[in-house]
Structure 1
Amino acid sequence: MEGREEDVRVGANKFSERQPIGTAAQSQDKDYKEPPPAPLFEAGELTSWSFYRAGIAEFVATFLFLYVTILTVMGVSQSSSRCSTVGIQGIAWAFGGMIFALVYCTAGISGHSIIPSTQNLLQNLILNGISLTRSRLAAGGHINPAVTFGLFLARKLSLTRALFYMVMQCLGAISGAGVVKGFQKSVYENNGGGANVVNAGYTKGDGLGAEIVGTFILVYTVFSATDAKRNARDSHVPLLAPLPIGFAVFLVHLATIPITGTGINPARSLGAAIIYNKKHAWDDQWIFWLGPFIGAALAAIYHQVVIRAIPFKSRH
C-alpha cells in the first residue's frame, strides 16, 4: 500500500496541471505588460487613415445594427398574433445576435491605437509583444456611445477618437432607422418606429434605473471580455470576446424590453427618435442618454478600481 501511495505522489508531481484555473490563474503574469493609457488628445490620429477607417467601420456597423433590429421590432409590432412572430425573445436575439456578429467583424478594425514614434513602437514590440497587440485589437467594435464612453474613462482610447466614434455611431443609427422607414413608412409610423419610451406602469425613475443597470452589465462584460491581462494569459479569450458581449445584450433585452424597450445604447435610441420624430419619442430621450452614460461610468470604475485595482498598483 505504501508503494502505491508513493506512485500516486510521484505521478501527481510528474503530471502537474499544465494550465492553472480559478484564482491560481490570476497569479500567472506570463508575458503581460499593462498597456500605457491612451493620451487625452493625439494629434497624429487626425492625419491617419486608420483613424477614419475605424470611424467608417463604426458607422457601417451601427447602420447594420439598427437596420436589422428595427426591422425585427416592426415585424413583431405589426403582427396581430404573437404566435406568428418571433416575439420579445426574437427581438432580444436580434439585438444580441447582431452585436455578436458585428463585434466579431469590426473588433480588429475600430480597435483603439496609439500612434507612437518609431523608437516607442520598437520598444513596445520588444517589451509587450503579442499581448499588447491583442489588447488593442480587442477594444474595437463599440457600436455604442456608452461603450465608447466607458473605454474612454478607462483611458483605452483618446478623447479625439471617442468623440469621433460617437458621432459616427449616431449617424449610422440614424441612417439605419431611415432605411427601415423608407422600406415601409406606414408600418414604421404606425408601430412606434422602434423608439424607446418608458412603458405604461413604470415611472421615469424605473426607466432610468433599468438603463443604468442594463448598461452596467453590458460595459462590465465588455471590459471583462477584452481584458488585456486575460488576453495575455488565455489565448482563446480574444476569439470568444464577441460571444459574452452579444449574450449580455440578449439577456438585458429580455429583462428590460417591458420597461423601456431597452436602450442601453444612446445612438440606437437617438436614431429611432429622429426618424420616428413624434413628441412622446422625445419625452424620455434624456433617460436613454443619462442612464447608459452613468451605467458605463460605474462599470469602468468598478472594473478598473475594484476588479483590476489598476489605480492602486505601484509604478516601478
Structure 2
Amino acid sequence: MAKEIGPGEPGQFSAKDYQDPPPAPLIDPVELTKWSFYRALIAEFIATMLFLYITVLTVIGYKSQTDPNLIPVPDQCGGVGILGIAWAFGGMIFVLVYCTAGISGGHINPAVTFGLFLARKVSLIRAVMYMVAQCLGAICGVGLVKAFQKSHYKRYGGGANELADGYSKGVGLAAEIIGTFVLVYTVFSATDPKRSARDSHVPVLAPLPIGFAVFMVHLATIPITGTGINPARSLGAAVMYNKEKAWDDQWIFWVGPFVGAAIAAFYHQFILRAGAIKALGSFRSNPHV
C-alpha cells in the first residue's frame, strides 16, 4: 500500500505552509530610483507598440482583401476573416506576455494594470506609469501602420474601435465590461501564487490562457464594438485615425474595461480568495473592536 504523505512532507501542499505575498505599497517612491522600474516601462511600451502594429495591420489587411470596390466578386472566405483577426489579437497577447512577464509582468493593457492595482499587486506609481507607457506604445504602434499603409489606413477605418450600427451604447458598454471581466479574471487565475504553489507539479504556462481569453472575447464582441477590452488599444487607434465617430464612442472603451477589471479584481480577491471572510474574521476576533 502506498505510503501516505503527511502535511509538510515533500510532494504535499499544505494550505498552512502557504503565505500570501505582502500587498504592494500604495505609493513607493523607491521604485523611481531602480533601473528595473524603467526597464519594465520600456518593456510595456515596446510590447504594446508591437501588439497594435500587428493587430491593426491584420484588421486593415483583411478589409482590403475583401473590399467589394477592388474585387468584382467578393470572396466571403477571403482574407483571414474574423476568426483570423481574433487569433491575431489572442496570439500576440500570448507571445508578448510570454516575452515580458518576467520583466514587467506583461500587462500590455491599462485595464489589467488597473485591476492588479486594485488588488494591491502593483503600486500607484507603477500603475500610472505603466498606463502612460502602454498608451504611448499603442499610439506609436498604430502610427507605424499609418506610415507604412497610409492609403489603406484611412480607407479601411484605421483599426479604430467604434460601436457597430444597430447596437445601443448600453449594449456596447456591457460587451466591454463582460469582455474585460473575462480577461482580467483569467489574468488573476493564471497568475495566482497560491494556485502556483498548490499545483507546482502541474506546469502552467500563464500566457496561454490569457491569450485564449483575448481570442474568445474577440470572437464574441468584434461584431458589436470591434472589441476594445484594452483602453490603450482603443486610444492609439483613435488618435491616429482621428475621426468623430471614433472619439464619440471612446468613453465606452475606457469606462467598460475599467469597470470590468474592477469587478474581476473584487470577485477574485474577495469571493474566490475569501478576502471578505478573512477581513470579517479578523474584525470579529479583535477584542478591542
The question of a shared fold, defined as TM-score above 0.5 by the shorter chain, is answered with: yes
Please state if 1:97 is matched with 2:74.
no
How many percent of aligned residue pairs carry the same amino acid?
Answer: 71
Q: Which amino acid aligns with 1:72?
A: T
1:197 and 1:261 in contact (8 A); partners too? yes
Aligned partners of 1:237 and 1:297: how far apart in 2?
29
SS in 1 for 2:247: helix
Q: What is aligned with 1:274? A: 239
Q: What is aligned with 1:5? A: none
Please state if 1:200 is matched with 2:165.
yes
Q: Which amino acid aligns with 1:63?
A: M
1:72 to 46, 58, 68: 58
- Please report the RMSD computed on the Cα atoms of aligned residues, expressed in angstroms: 1.9
Aligned partners of 2:109 and 2:217: how far apart in 1?
15
Deviation at residue 67 of structure 1 after TM alignment: 0.5
CA pair 174-217 structure 1, distance change in 2 beyond 3 A: same
1:19-52 C-alpha deviation (Å, 9 max, x unpaired): xxxxxx9x83274211111111001001110111
Aligned residue pairs, count: 268
Q: What is aligned with 1:42? A: 28
| Structure 1 portions without partners, runs of 5+ | 1-10, 19-24, 111-139
Q: What is aligned with 1:134? A: none
1:212-250 C-alpha deviation (Å, 9 max, x unpaired): 000000000000000010111122677411010000000
Aligned partners of 1:288 and 1:16: how far apart in 2?
53
SS in 2 for 1:83: coil
CA pair 239-206 structure 1, distance change in 2 beyond 3 A: same
1:285-314 C-alpha deviation (Å, 9 max, x unpaired): 000000000000000000001000124325
Q: What is aligned with 1:152? A: 117
Aligned partners of 1:167 and 1:248: how far apart in 2?
24
1:84 to 70, 78, 83: 78
Of the structure 1 ranges 261-270 and 304-313, higher mean CA displacement relative to structure 2 is found in: 304-313
Please state if 1:305 is matched with 2:270.
yes
Deviation at residue 17 of structure 1 after TM alignment: 8.9
Aligned partners of 2:180 and 2:61: how far apart in 1?
25
1:160-193 C-alpha deviation (Å, 9 max, x unpaired): 0000000000000000000001001010000000
CA pair 271-33 structure 1, distance change in 2 beyond 3 A: same
TM-score normalised per structure 1: 0.81
| Structure 2 portions without partners, runs of 5+ | 7-11, 67-74
1:60 and 1:172 in contact (8 A); partners too? yes
Q: Which amino acid aligns with 2:28?
A: E
Q: What is aligned with 1:55? A: 41
CA pair 28-187 structure 1, distance change in 2 beyond 3 A: same
Please state if 1:180 is matched with 2:145.
yes
Aligned partners of 1:213 and 1:153: how far apart in 2?
18
Deviation at residue 79 of structure 1 after TM alignment: 1.8
**Following superposition of structure 1 onto structure 2, how do residues 214-253 of structure 1 map, counting pairs within 5 Å?**
214-235=179-200, 239-253=204-218
1:163 to 105, 124, 128: 128
1:31 and 1:232 in contact (8 A); partners too? no
Question: Which has the larger share of helix?
Answer: 1
Q: Which amino acid aligns with 1:94?
A: A
